[in-house]
Chains A and B, each alone.
Chain A
């Protein structure tokens, strides 16, 4: 079972990133996948996140208490989540926006996703950069399938930018791990 949470602030595309990941695992990799989203009733702002649970058997657990992979795009979101951050196996943060990272029991990956995305085209693609990073950290997620999903789902105007973004995120972790 793979349990991923992508959290941030409303407008950062946490649900979109979750949908790309969920769709890729479900339709391209043959997993049974449940993706859920959570957001507050505020018109704008507030914590927003997306949970993806994927398994080779029927998924009935619809709630993540502690994710295996926690992706965070916003400082305040990180601060709100004590248990999840402390106990998750892998924490991947956008270090462009998340400056202070608490100690955790698992691995921490700091990826300047906002900056990487801006260098490519727009900081808006930070969510997809982080998704690329996840694909390198989690062996079960195939980068090529994510690329295929982005190519088939995104409007023409945003395709190239997001393909570059997902690959750049992957490459960043690849470099990090090779240096180690």
Chain B
């Protein structure tokens, strides 16, 4: 683990450093381009911090080991890309249902299927939200710099511990394979999961306002049953009653929905009643921001909006923007975030600039802006 200071490293390496600073105890994964550097770096560095590193036989086993690690009291993580992320979906749902804090890093590449392993894409945005079956909410963060690969990894762990839920760090090959300066601060703020008091018997229900029950470790002495089937507060299965399903699933969703304000995060510039607001996220948002700055310098009333937390989406703010401005969504995929943005701003005043395989230059985005406003 690196000492506090400023370094010039790759996004994936910064992610690994962020994980160790957040208190990573177990990494289990299977290598895949363009995410492998997270694993390479942790294979070397994590054992030195006392953490455990496991190379698994595939991605299904990886996410399963991560969930097991979390229940033995460790902060756990895996990293993958699209094909591996697809394999993990069933167990991500299991982590949601069992309220298992863990971090899944998806360094997105151009898909579908094996697609183009070394090229960036953001075609997994909807999968990160809806990829597993059943009704659930998820938290996903989209970094656009090496510094954010570090910062957002730390925040992913904090959110997962705070809300006892899996969190997806939705990076892309652009930011994962990019080298930049980044700073590891002297102090990194970390959050630890809520622990039970000796008298507690319910680890899967709560009447607390945040909807988050306390979580014991396996082997700690509590009577503990963890199941993906619908369960009561004490963990026992109830696969038939209306009350059990209704109470559990509504609470799991409320954990995220009722705490949106604390979770949401975005960056914006000149969005109030601008003629046109560009919405973008991930690595491609960098040239988009550059183009908006240039247009503003040239006297155009153009805004820039970037969700840092992509799920839950900053829907109220996007709706407000949609009421007052035309919107252009710029992303590295055809579908990416489109349905969500369209839901918030409406399809009538929405323009799309989708680009596959590579990042556009500032000039290319600028030209698109001019096409729309002139």
- List A residues at the B interface (Cβ < 8 Å): 19, 22-23, 26-27, 32-41, 60-63, 65
A27 to B183, CA, bound (A): 11
Of the listed stretches B15-23, B195-203, B264-272, B359-367, chain A binds: B359-367
Q: A22-B179, A27-B181, A33-B8 are in contact. Are A62 and B33 (CB under 8 A)?
A: no
What is the distance, in angstroms, from B99's C-beta to the closest C-beta of chain A? 38
**C-alpha spacing A36/B117, complex, angstroms:** 15
Expressed in whole angstroms, the Cα–Cα distance for A1 and B361 within the complex equals 14
* Stretch in contact with the other chain, from B38-46, B245-253, B282-290, B337-345: B282-290
Q: Which residues of B contact A (CB under 8 A)?
A: 6-8, 33, 116-118, 174, 177-181, 283, 286-287, 289-290, 293, 358-363
Question: B178: nearest residue on chain A (CB-CB)?
Answer: A36
Contacts A61-B362, A62-B359, A63-B359 given; indicate if A32 touches B181 (C-beta within 8 A).
yes
Contact A33 B180 (CB under 8 A): yes
Residue pairs across A and B with Cβ atoms less than 8 A apart, 18 shown, are A23-B179, A26-B180, A27-B8, A32-B181, A33-B8, A34-B178, A34-B180, A35-B8, A35-B179, A35-B180, A37-B177, A40-B118, A41-B116, A60-B287, A61-B287, A62-B287, A63-B359, A63-B360
Inter-chain CA distance A19–B8, complex, in Å, is 9
Closest to A41 in B: B117
Could you tell me if B287 and A41 are in contact, using CB atoms closer than 8 angstroms? no
Known: A35-B8, A63-B358, A63-B361. 9 other contacts (CB 8 A): A22-B8, A26-B180, A36-B174, A60-B290, A61-B287, A61-B290, A61-B362, A62-B178, A63-B287
When distances are taken between beta carbons in the complex, the residues of chain A under 8 Å from B8 are: 19, 22-23, 26-27, 33, 35
- Whose C-beta in chain A lies nearest to the C-beta of B289? A60
Please tell me if the beta carbons of A60 and B181 are within 8 angstroms of each other in the complex. no
Q: Which residue of chain B is the closest to A60 with respect to CB atoms?
A: B290
A16 to chain B, nearest CB (A): 12
B106 → chain A, closest Cβ, in Å?
Answer: 18
Min CB–CB distance A14 → chain B (angstroms): 13
- The smallest beta-carbon distance between B56 and chain A, in angstroms, is 22
- Residues from chain B with a CB closer than 8 A to the CB of A65 are 361, 363
Please name all residues of chain B whose beta carbon is closer than 8 Å to the beta carbon of A40 when the two chains form the complex.
118
In the bound complex, do residue A62 and residue B286 qualify as a contact, i.e. CB atoms below 8 Å apart? yes
Chain B residue contacts of A36, Cβ below 8 A: 174, 177-179
Bound CA–CA A26/B118 (angstroms): 25
Chain B residue at smallest Cβ distance from A50: B179
Q: Are A41 and B181 in contact (CB under 8 A)?
A: no
**A40–B180 alpha-carbon span in the complex (Å):** 22
Nearest 6 A-B pairs (CB), nearest first?
A: A60-B290, A35-B179, A23-B8, A41-B117, A60-B286, A26-B8
- Provide the residues of chain B in CB contact with A22, threshold 8 Å: 8, 179
- Residues in B with CB closer than 8 Å to A34 are 178-180
For A32, the closest partner residue in chain B by CB is B181
Cα–Cα, bound, A22→B358 (Å)? 21
Tell me, in angstroms, the Cα distance from A40 to B178 when the chains sit together.
16
Taken together as a complex, chains A and B put the C-alpha atoms of A36 and B362 apart, in Å, by 16
Question: A6 → chain B, closest Cβ, in Å?
Answer: 13
CA distance A95 to B7 in the complex (A): 34
**Residues of chain B within 8 A of A62, CB atoms compared:** 174, 178, 283, 286-287, 359
A61 / chain B contacts, CB cutoff of 8 Å: 286-287, 290, 361-362
